[in-house]
Structures are given as structure tokens and as C-alpha cells.
Chain A
Amino acid sequence: MNFFHQVVSYFGDGANWTGPTGIPTLFYRQFILSASVIVVAIVLGGGAGVVFGHTGRGSLVAVNAANAFRAVPSLALLTLLAISPQISLKWGGFLASFIALTVLAVPPILTNTYVGIREVDADVTDAARAMGLRGGQIMGRVELPLALPFIVAGIRTAAIEVVATSTLAAYVSYSDLGTPLLAGLSSNNSVEAFCASLLVILLAALFAVGLGVLQRAVTPAGLRHHRRGGNMLAPTPGVEGAAAA
């Protein structure tokens, strides 16, 4: 049986689709882990970024957060939390992975939100102030909408990292699609690893494209012509601020 047939029969095997180690369960578990991390990171990173950006405080932290955390190996955070006795086995391994992933997801969202808010033309906020809007209203009705494309770009960067790293959560005992993937890699079972990786890629693509659609939808009509084409699949890493300027 050649490789392709083995892959087809893996997906055709009913046993791979049922029970706690079945594809739907593992897919769902990885989706839930990733989605909950992203939601919490949006609240934490986005909230802090909006406040920092509006007040202009904390720029050192906000601007450098994404850079400083980029080189931190996600595997180190995952394993450190997974072997710390207080959290290691809480919620079936969910908590350790959840915390590690959130720590990784907040910085890009924080930095992009901060930069997005700071990029808003001072003339626009001055005009809003002259029209009688107060600080909170300027934040909510002027700065936030204009910064949204940046913010969603940051969320996409974070989401791609989160989905990738949630695959590694399987290594520290939270079972998801990473479980058959890593098992396949370590036992040299290329069919199992290959099939699991296709599912992981499907999940990553769902997040990337879903957030790409969102990014396009939240870009105010007046800003759309500035973006040359845009990229539905992945954000523009490293040049979010510069590219739109």
C-alpha cells in the first residue's frame, strides 16, 4: 500500500473518528484551547494597549513587548508550567497550557493595539475633542475604530502562534491534535503524523482566514484604499505599523 492509500485509509477508518482520541474530539479540544487563549489575550493585551495608547503611558513596555517575547521558546514556558506542582495537572492539563499560551499571545496584541492607537492622526483626535467628545468617547469612537485593522493584525499574529503552540500542549499532557502528531513523529509513524498535521493545518488555516475576513471587515472604508491588496491568509509580520503608514 503506498503512502497516499495509507493516508486515505487512516481518514476512512471509523475508529479514528470516535471516542476521546477521535479526530472530532481532538480537533474540538485544540480549537477550544486556542480560542479561549485568544479571547483572554484580546481582553488583556487589547485592553492594556488601548489604555496605554490613549494615555501615552507605558510606551516602553507596550512597544517592546512583542519583540522581547519573540525569542522566548514556547516549549520552555509550557514545560515549566507543566512541571510546577501547583498547576501541572489542573483541569486535565488545560490550565498549564492555557497560561503558557496566554503569556505568548498577549505581547503581539498589546504592541499592535498600542501602535495602532498611537498611529491615529493627532488632527483627527483634536477635531473630535473640538467637537465636544470626551476622553472616553474619543477612545471608543475615534481611536479604536481607526486602530482596529492594526489590532486585528496583532490578533492574527498571536492566533497563528497560539494554534502552532497548542499543538505542543499535547507534549505536556493536554490531549489534542498534537497527540497523534507527536506520537507519529516519535514512533516514526509517518502516516499518523502526516494525517494529524493536515488537521492541524486545517485548524490554523481556519483561524488565519477567519481573522483575515474579520480584519477586512473592520477596516474603516476610508482606510481601505491605503492597503495594497491585503493578505487574507497571514498578517504582515514585522511591518504592521510601517506598511500602513
Chain B
Amino acid sequence: MLGNVIQWSFITQQWSEIQTDLVQHIELTIIAVAIGLCLSVPLALVAWRLPITRAPLVGFASLLYIIPSVALFAIVGAYTGYIASYLTAEIALVGYTMLILMWNTLAGLAAVPEEAREASVALGNTRSATLWRVELPLALPYIFAGLRVATSTVVGLVTVTVFIGLGGLGQLIQYGFNTAFTTPIIVALVLAVALAAVFDLCLVLLERVVVPWSRSTRRIAARA
């Protein structure tokens, strides 16, 4: 039965092609999540410090979140170009991570115990110092939970960039579909899930290093 669905020889013969696609997939994912993080956390801090900006910022991120990525390719691509444009691909992928990361950062800041804030003020910290030295570190478990969700979402989403000539593992899917050949599609699916698992493990380990005091992470992540 499995012999009909998977042709093992394909994997050995096309290994270099699979490797190229996998590397592109990893690149597209890491760039998207890194830029998403660098934009979302500062924006979330602005939204936190200036409540008046919260609704427009979260609203904008929500809009980016609900727009299907192929539609965003078409909108953004009308200016930046369609064919193999990393810029077009990354704008859409980053847009998708923004709401996840911003919302988790805000939730983390909101979850900081009032006592910790008061203690910080009592020690003579200014509001900014409290934000940087107390609130943000205490929000880190939430930010990591958001990073994990965003990363695995992007891993699944990168395949869609095949419609603008990139795709990473999406290239394998397109090839399999065009030739009605299941093996490349299954290879892409398994590799995407495995890649997400590896990224997730890396983030968990990174979190242990960065947030050694966190014990509730497991609980937060489990609810994501």
C-alpha cells in the first residue's frame, strides 16, 4: 500500500533538489519570523504605553492577519513584482506573524503581577525602566509562546509562496501536483512538519536559556 504512495527512490535521486527547497523554506521562515518579531514587540510596547494607539495598531495587525496570503501577494506584488520576489513573499509572511506576536506580547504585559510593578516603582525605577527591566522580562514566556505559534504557522504558510515562484517545499508540492505524483507532496508535508518541530524545540531550548525562571511556559504554550 505504502509502495503506491511513496517511491523511495525519488528521495535519493532528487535529494539535491529537495535540499535546495528545504533551505529556501528555512530562509523564508527565519526572515519572516525575525522581522515580524522586530516589528511586533516594539509596536506592542507602544500600544502598551500609549493606550490610544492600541486599537489602531491591533486593528492594522488584524487586517494583515485576515487577508489571505495569496491576496496579499497580488496587492503588494502589484508594486513590488510577482516573480520570485522575496520582498513580496516576506511582506505577506511578516504580515501574518504581526497579530500573533503583538497580541502575545500585550497579553504578557497584561499578565505582569501588579506587585512586581509596584515593587519596581518602590525601588525607584522610572516607568520606562520598569517596562524594560521588569515588565518585558516577565512577559517573555508569552512572547515565546507567540513565537512558537508564529513560527509553525509560517512554516506551513511558506509553501503558498510557490504562486509567486518561490515556495520552498511548495516547489515539491507543485511538481507533485503537476505530474500527479504523490511522493514529492508527502515529502514536502513530512519535512514541513518536521521542520516546525525542530524550530519549536529550538525555541523551547532558547526559552530555557533566556527565561530560566519561567515555570508556567508549558501551560501557556499548551493553550495556544
Contact = CB atoms under 8 A, between A and B. Distances in A.
A145 interface: no
B193 A168 contact: no
25 contacts: A66-B224, A70-B153, A71-B192, A71-B193, A71-B196, A72-B156, A73-B158, A80-B182, A80-B186, A83-B182, A163-B68, A181-B70, A185-B77, A186-B163, A188-B83, A196-B74, A197-B73, A197-B75, A204-B71, A231-B59, A237-B99, A238-B145, A238-B146, A238-B150, A238-B224
B70 A63 contact: no
A102 B99 CA distance: 24
B170 A75 contact: yes
A231 B58 contact: yes
Given A181-B71, A205-B66, A190 B162 contact: no
Nearest to B147: A238
Interface string A201-245: 100110010000000000000000000110101101111111100
Contact of B159 (A73, A83, A172, A205): A73
Contacts of A178: 70
A179 B99 CA distance: 28
A185 B163 contact: yes
Interface stretch (B11-19, B126-134, B173-181): B173-181
Query: Which 9 A-B residue pairings sit nearest by Cβ, starting from the closest?
Result: A71-B196, A241-B223, A164-B68, A197-B71, A234-B62, A193-B74, A197-B74, A238-B149, A233-B62
Nearest to B223: A241
B82 A79 contact: no
A163 B66 CA distance: 9
A70 B196 contact: yes
A239 B66 contact: no
A76 interface: yes
B63 A233 contact: yes
Interface string A163-195: 111011001100000100110111010100110
Contact of A72 (B107, B193, B223): B193
Interface in A135-160: 160
Interface string B33-71: 000000000000000000000110011011101111111
A164 B159 CA distance: 13
Interface string B181-224: 11001101100110111000000000000000000000010111
Nearest to B78: A190
Given A67-B224, A201-B66, A238-B150, 10 more contacts: A71-B197, A73-B158, A80-B185, A83-B181, A83-B182, A168-B160, A171-B177, A234-B63, A236-B107, A242-B142
Interface in A66-88: 66-67, 70-77, 79-80, 82-84
Contacts of A188: 82-83
